[in-house]
Amino acid sequence: MNHTCRIELDGRSYELPVVEGTENERAVDISSLRSHTGYITLDDGYGNTGSCTSAITYIDGEQGILRYRGIPIEDLAEQSSFVEAAWLVIFGHLPTSTDRERFSALLTANSQLPQSMLKHFDAFPPHAHPMAILSAMINTLSCHEPPQAEITDDAGLERAAARLMSKVRTIAAASYKASIGEPVVYPRYDYRYAENFLHMMFSLPFKEHEVTPEAAKALNLFLLLHADHEQNCSTSTVRMVASSQANLFASCAAGVCALWGPLHGGANVAVIEMLQHIHDSGVNVTDYVKKVKSKNSRTRLMGFGHRVYRNFDPRSRILKKAADELLSTLHVHDPLLDIAQELADAALGDDYFIERKLYPNVDFYSGTILRAIGIPVNMFTVMFAIGRMPGWIANWKEIHDDPSTRIYRPRQVYTGNTLTEFVPRTER
Ligand code: CMC
């Protein structure tokens, strides 16, 4: 295969190297283009830009493939757990039983928040968005952390990752408790990751919540499926911040903010709001789809479409199956799941969606699972953030470990005023 690319600019020919990934994905390395030609490349929204090479997650959007460190998501969903998948994503290979036990013990040992941090929750107004609290509290956590210099090897990173992953879960539950005016519930040392979260969310000081195995299993799966997804908006943000040599906590706090928006992690809230709106207003699914397709409408079919997947998002298939199973085990009928299915059927048979290759994404069915286990809608994106933490940590590690990392600093094509004279105030 040809390992260079020839381009012609202003009548001159240049050769650029071609980089090939382990799954044969090819990229033209344009890093020397400007110094040789004076040109930069322009790629609005980075739709065709590889911002880095990475060995963490592989996606084939045409075929609907997702693998963490080479392992298919379907196999992990079937046979692994969130904590095991998190370790895999961060450290690059499946943990041995010793690794797993050590990491689980670290997660348990780090589940408590510093006492002084608990006071911060009182300072947020009751209606504060949990994503704002989460990002602020992750940054606050960095004030209580040993200096970044401690992360000099995998053991140091493992300790920091456990502190972050464990405390993020406690912060999330505590922010929910604060928002409903209930006292913060302390973690339990005998519970595993997902169980402990459900305990902190739903127990009361005078009444222990009974965590069911079905709820713990469903939450575990939800978190595992969100653990990483290569260079999406929030992960790219984490890498961007990390490239300035900012610490792990600051970088992940920035990731939370990027995830918040409805086109990204916030879509799981937008989907439920859309389904609820259709349910409550009684609007016909066909009419809703018509509205989505209208050129003048800004309404989108939330939970549909993806920048990379031009086929089913494999996570949505797994989540749909899990949602059906969970609801049947709990003997719950969720009318919103019926509406979701009607919408999916209408969209998948419609030329607008077929031509644009728009399929259900991870957020289309995830809300049904979260609703079934009692998670309030305003916490949905926080749940996504808890799940995505391993991916952000792994991407931070790639940046941190690579001695050739340069600060991320894109260029632009300036379209503003040309040289403009300053007019003194009295003459304006
Ligand atoms: N409903 C209706 N039309 C859509 C949708 C949708 N959900 N998504 C894309 N389109 C249309 C869009 O209007 C455009 O049409 P046209 O060519 O006529 O202008 C075409 O499809 C291409 O859309 P785009 O906005 O250029 O695509 P993108 O790659 O920039 O956006 C996306 C990807 C995920 C932001 C978008 O599909 C979307 O807004 N989906 C709904 C929000 C959502 O579910 N987000 C979660 C994404 S998955 C999890 C995550 O990333 O966190």
Q: What is the pLDDT of residues 224-273, one digit of tens each?
A: 999 999 999 999 999 999 999 999 999 999 999 999 999 999 999 999 99
CA-CA-CA-CA torsion sign (261, 265, 267, 268): negative
The proportion of the chain whose per-residue pLDDT surpasses 70, expressed as a percent, equals: 99
* Pocket of ligand 1 from Cβ distances under 6 Å: 45, 232, 263-265, 267, 292, 300-307, 356, 358, 361-363
What is the CA(45)–ligand 1 centre distance, in A? Answer: 12
Q: Is the pLDDT of residue 160 over 90?
A: yes
Question: What would the pLDDT profile of 13-40 be if each residue is shown by its tens digit?
Answer: 999 999 999 999 999 999 999 999 999 9
Question: What would the pLDDT profile of 38-50 be if each residue is shown by its tens digit?
Answer: 999 999 999 999 9
Looking at residue 392, its pLDDT comes to 98
Per the CB < 8 A criterion, the answer to whether 361 and 121 are in contact is no
Q: Is the pLDDT of residue 147 over 90?
A: no
Question: What would the pLDDT profile of 183-219 be if each residue is shown by its tens digit?
Answer: 999 999 999 999 999 999 999 989 999 999 999 999 9
C-alpha span between 93 and 95 (Å, rounded) = 6
Give the residue-averaged pLDDT of 307-315.
92
Identify the residue whose C-alpha is closest to ligand 1 atom 4. Answer: 300
Q: Is the pLDDT of residue 2 over 80?
A: no
Q: Is the pLDDT of residue 298 over 90?
A: no
Residue ranges of alpha helices (H) inside 48-185 are 73-79, 82-91, 97-109, 115-123, 130-144, 154-179
The proportion of the chain whose per-residue pLDDT surpasses 90, expressed as a percent, equals: 88
Give the residue-averaged pLDDT of 369-382.
95
Q: Is the pLDDT of residue 149 over 70?
A: no
Query: Quick one: three-class SS letters along 72-94?
Result: EHHHHHHHCCHHHHHHHHHHCCC
When pLDDT is cut at 50, 70 and 90, the band that residue 148 belongs to is low
Q: Which amino acid is at 356?
A: R
Q: Is the pLDDT of residue 1 over 70?
A: no
pTM: 0.95
Q: Which of 289, 307, 354 to mutate to test the pocket of ligand 1 (most atoms within 8 A of CB)?
A: 307
Looking at residue 246, its pLDDT comes to 93
Per the CB < 8 A criterion, the answer to whether 166 and 141 are in contact is no
Identify the residue whose C-alpha is closest to ligand 1 atom 44. Answer: 303
Sheet holding 12-20, edge to edge: 4-9, 12-20, 26-28
Q: Is the pLDDT of residue 384 over 70?
A: yes
Looking at residue 104, its pLDDT comes to 97
